[in-house]
């Protein structure tokens, strides 16, 4: 009887489908998990980032986090922001009537330093749109602004929310 039960279990195991194997990207057959941190150079060419914008009655407004477009530490436009910049250039080319205002708000450092960083950010974005995207017939007005940094988290609270940067870029223009 035991032998029949053992044979029945063996037959059931032989005919059962194999358990699914989990394949995670980046493991390449290694039994150890791979941890990767995104950088500007790791963006896959097939990923597409949709530019968030609002189409109002008489203007178009683009509001996006400054860290998505501009690297404040290096003082340059991020390589990963090329999709956003191209979409912004297309919107400006197709719909802009009059000057385009670029305002970059920074919360890094004291107010005077943050305003200068914001001005450099806005100028870099205007330069990119003029040179890289060839919007030479468009007049850009740039402004930098300082916003107060976020309040520090309570060090005694283990569940305190993570402080989020309040730096942002706003591009607005009147539409036809």
Instruction: Render pLDDT for 46-62 as a digit per residue (tens, 0 to 9).
Output: 567 889 899 998 999 99
Q: In terms of pTM, does the model score above 0.85?
A: no
65 is in which domain, residue-wise? 50-149+164-176
Q: In this predicted structure, what is the pLDDT of residue 87?
A: 93
Most distant pair of Cα atoms in the chain: their distance? 91
Tally of structural domains, the chain: 1
- Classify residue 36: in a domain, yes or no: no
Instruction: Render pLDDT for 70-98 as a digit per residue (tens, 0 to 9).
Output: 999 999 999 999 999 999 999 999 999 99
Cβ atoms of residues 98 and 137 within 8 Å = no
- Classify residue 10: in a domain, yes or no: no
- Classify residue 157: in a domain, yes or no: no
- Classify residue 118: in a domain, yes or no: yes
Domain CATH number, residue 78: 3.30.1330.60
- Classify residue 156: in a domain, yes or no: no
Q: In this predicted structure, what is the pLDDT of residue 170?
A: 94
State residue 89 phi and psi, 5-degree precision. -65, -40
- SS3 of 25, please? coil
- Classify residue 12: in a domain, yes or no: no
Q: What order do you get walking across the sheet with 96-106 strand by strand? A: 53-55, 59-65, 168-175, 96-106, 140-146
- Classify residue 7: in a domain, yes or no: no
- Classify residue 154: in a domain, yes or no: no
Cβ atoms of residues 50 and 90 within 8 Å = no
Q: In this predicted structure, what is the pLDDT of residue 42?
A: 47
């Amino acid at each position: 009887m035991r032998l029949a039960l053992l044979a029945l279990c063996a037959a059931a195991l032989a005919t059962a489908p194999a358990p699914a194997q989990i394949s995670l990207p980046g493991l390449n057959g290694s039994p150890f998990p791979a941890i990767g941190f995104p950088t500007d150079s790791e963006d896959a060419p097939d990923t597409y980032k949709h530019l968030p914008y609002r189409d109002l009655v008489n203007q178009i407004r683009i509001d996006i986090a400054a860290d998505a477009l501009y690297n404040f530490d290096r003082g340059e436009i991020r390589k990963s922001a090329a999709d956003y910049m191209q979409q912004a250039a297309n919107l400006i080319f197709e719909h802009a009537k009059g000057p385009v205002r670029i305002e970059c708000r920074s919360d890094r450092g004291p107010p005077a330093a943050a305003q200068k960083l914001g001005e450099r950010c806005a100028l870099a974005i205007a330069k990119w749109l003029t040179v890289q995207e060839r919007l030479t017939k468009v007049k850009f007005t740039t402004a930098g602004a300082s916003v107060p940094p976020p309040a520090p988290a309570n060090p005694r609270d283990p569940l305190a929310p993570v402080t989020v940067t309040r730096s942002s870029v706003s591009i607005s223009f009147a539409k036809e």
